[in-house]
Amino acid sequence: MLSRFTDSINEKQLFEPHQKVLLAVSGGIDSMVLLNLFEKSGLNYGVVHCNFQLRGEDSDKDEQFVREAVLQHGVPAFFQTFETEEHARLNGVSIEMAARELRYEYFEEIRIKNQYDFIATAHHQDDLLETFFLNLSRKTGIRGLTGIKEKSGNLIRPLLFASRREIEDFARANFIEFREDYTNSEVVYQRNFIRHKILPLFQKMNPAFKKNLLASMEHLKETEEVYSFSMNRWQKNVVSTIDGNIEIQISALLNLPFPKILLYEILIRYNFNPKVTGQVFQSIENESGKQFYSPTHRLVKDREKLFVIELPKEEKRIYYIEKDDIELFEPFDLAIEKNENRNFEISRNPNVACLDFDQLDFPLLIRRWKQGDYFQPLGMSGFKKLSDFFIDEKLPLHEKENTWLLCSGQQIVWVMGHRIDNRFKITPQTRQVLKIEIREY
C-alpha cells in the first residue's frame, strides 16, 4: 500500500517531493490512513480540520481526536469551528452545500497564508463509484459521471488508487485509530444504500464490474475533455463581456453546429436551468424584449443579441419546479406529488402545501420575499402585504429574513412553511392536487 501510494503520486505527478501538502483530516478512517501514509513516506505536510458543529458532542470529539493525532506526529495543524447551520440559513443553501462552501474557502485561506502547494483530500475509488451512482439517480450530464480528478487546481486526491477494502485492511494491519462517522444525512443514507445494496448486486452480476466501471469513467472523462474543448472554442466566437455584462451574438450562435447545446453550456454558468434555456432558444428567432431569470442573472432578448445581466443581491436565487418534477434539492429538500382530488386528505402541516393543480402556471418559481410582496392568505378574501403578515404571525427576524415564496408567474402561491394563498386552495371543483412537502428547510 505504501509503495503503491508513492508510485501513484509519481505516476500521476500529483506533487514534487519538496512541495508542501495540506491534508484535510476529519478523523474518519480514510483521512487517518492518508495522514499515516504521508507520515510514513516522510513527506512535507500539515493538517487542517473543520468542526462543522453538525453532530453536537461528536463533532467536538472528532476535533479532539485529530488534535491528539497531530500532536503525536508533531506537524503543523489548523483548526476551525463553523456555524454551519447558520451559514446555510443565511445563504439559503442546504447544510451540505454550506459545509462544502465553508470547507473549501477555509482550506484555500490556510493554504495561501501558510504557503502550502496543495490541499489533499482522502477520496478513494469507492467514493468515485458511489458518486457515479448518486449522480446517476439524479438528472446529470457527462460531468456528473466522470468522477473526480486526481488533480484539479490546488486540490489533489492521493488515495484514488485504493479501494475502501484496501484502506480498511491497511488501517487494521497498521493499528491506525479513527473515529466512526455517524452523520445521517440523505446523501449519506443514499451512499450507504449504493455501497451495501446496489454495488454488491452489480458485482454479483459481473465480478469485473468495479474495474469495468472505473475504466468506463476514464473513457467518459476523455470524452468530456473533447466536448468541453469544442464548447469553449465555439463560445469564444459568440460571447463577449462588455462592462461586466455578457453579450451573446444570436446570428453567430445559430451558425455554429450545435447552437442549442452551446447556449445551454453558456447559460449554465449563469445558473439558468435547462428548461429556461430551452425557452430562450425557442424565442431566439422571433420575439424581442423577452426576459428570463436564473437564481443569479437576468437574460434579455434583443434583436441581435442576448444580454445576461447579474441580479442585484436581494433578487438572487430563483429555483424552478417543472410540471413533472417529483422532488427538488435546492434551495432545500422538497417532495412533490400529484394526486387525483378523490378522497384526498388536505394536510394541516404548515410544511405541506396542497394546491389546485389547474390554477398553477408552470414552471413554478421559488424565490426570496421582498418588500412590496403581497398575497391573499388562505381563508381571507382580501390581500395582505407580506411584511404585515409576518408581523401578525409574530415571526422572529431571522425566520422572516429567510422565508421563501412559491410563485406561479407573478402570484404568490405559498409563503413556504407558513400559509398558502387562497387563490390556489383545494375546492370541490379541483380535479388534481399538487402536494408539496418541505422535507428539510
* Binding site, annotated residues for ATP: 26-31
The only residue of 79, 104, 106, 227 in contact with its own copies, by rule CB under 8 A: 227
Q: How many residues bind its own copies (CB under 8 A)?
A: 43
Asked whether position 229 contacts its own copies by CB under 8 A, the answer is yes
Asked whether position 112 contacts its own copies by CB under 8 A, the answer is no
Asked whether position 226 contacts its own copies by CB under 8 A, the answer is yes
Contact segment (CB under 8 A) with its own copies among 14-22, 210-218, 278-286, 417-425 equals 210-218
Asked whether position 314 contacts its own copies by CB under 8 A, the answer is no
Nearer to its own copies, 13 or 427 (CB): 13
Query: In angstroms, what is the minimal distance from the CB of 264 to its own copies?
Result: 8
The three state secondary structure string of the chain is CHHHHHHHHHHCCCCCCCCCEEEECCCCHHHHHHHHHHHHCCCCEEEEEEECCCCCHHHHHHHHHHHHHHHHHCCCEEEEECCHHHHHHHHCCCHHHHHHHHHHHHHHHHHHHCCCCEEECCCCHHHHHHHHHHHHCCCCCHHHHCCCCCEECCEECCCCCCCHHHHHHHHHHCCCCCCCCCCCCHHHHHHHHHHHHHHHHHHHHCCCHHHHHHHHHHHHHHHHHHHHHHHHHHHHHHEEEECCEEEEEHHHHHCCCCHHHHHHHHHHCCCCCHHHHHHHHHCCCCCCCCEEECCCEEEEECCCEEEEEECCHHHCCEEEECCCCCEECCCCEEEEEEEECCCCCCCCCCCEEEEEHHHCCCCEEEEECCCCCEECECCCCCCEEHHHHHHHCCCCHHHHHCCEEEEECCEEEEECCCEEEHHHCCCCCCCEEEEEEEEEC
The only residue of 223, 237, 240, 255 in contact with its own copies, by rule CB under 8 A: 223
The only residue of 219, 338, 431, 439 in contact with its own copies, by rule CB under 8 A: 219
- Alpha-carbon distance 169 to 164, whole Å? 9
Nearer to its own copies, 101 or 327 (CB): 327
Asked whether position 282 contacts its own copies by CB under 8 A, the answer is no
Nearer to its own copies, 21 or 321 (CB): 321
Residues of this chain, 316-345, that bind its own copies according to CB under 8 A: 324, 326-327
Contact present, 48 and 72 (Cβ < 8 Å): no
Nearer to its own copies, 11 or 225 (CB): 225
Nearer to its own copies, 87 or 275 (CB): 275
Contact segment (CB under 8 A) with its own copies among 114-122, 174-182, 217-225, 389-397 equals 217-225
Query: In angstroms, what is the minimal distance from the CB of 439 to its own copies?
Result: 13
Query: In angstroms, what is the minimal distance from the CB of 170 to its own copies?
Result: 21
| Exposed/middle/buried for residue 288 (C-beta within 10 Å: 0-12, 13-18, 19+) | exposed
One character per residue 143-182, x = contact with its own copies (rule: CB under 8 A): -xx-------------------------------------
One character per residue 121-140, x = contact with its own copies (rule: CB under 8 A): ---------------xxxxx
The only residue of 71, 142, 188, 346 in contact with its own copies, by rule CB under 8 A: 142
The only residue of 207, 240, 383, 388 in contact with its own copies, by rule CB under 8 A: 207
**Set of cell numbers at residue 439:** 422535507
Nearer to its own copies, 97 or 214 (CB): 214
Asked whether position 216 contacts its own copies by CB under 8 A, the answer is yes
Q: Given the rule CB under 8 A, which residues bind its own copies?
A: 136-142, 144-145, 190, 193-194, 197-198, 201-202, 205-209, 211-213, 215-216, 219-220, 222-227, 229-231, 257-258, 261, 324, 326-327
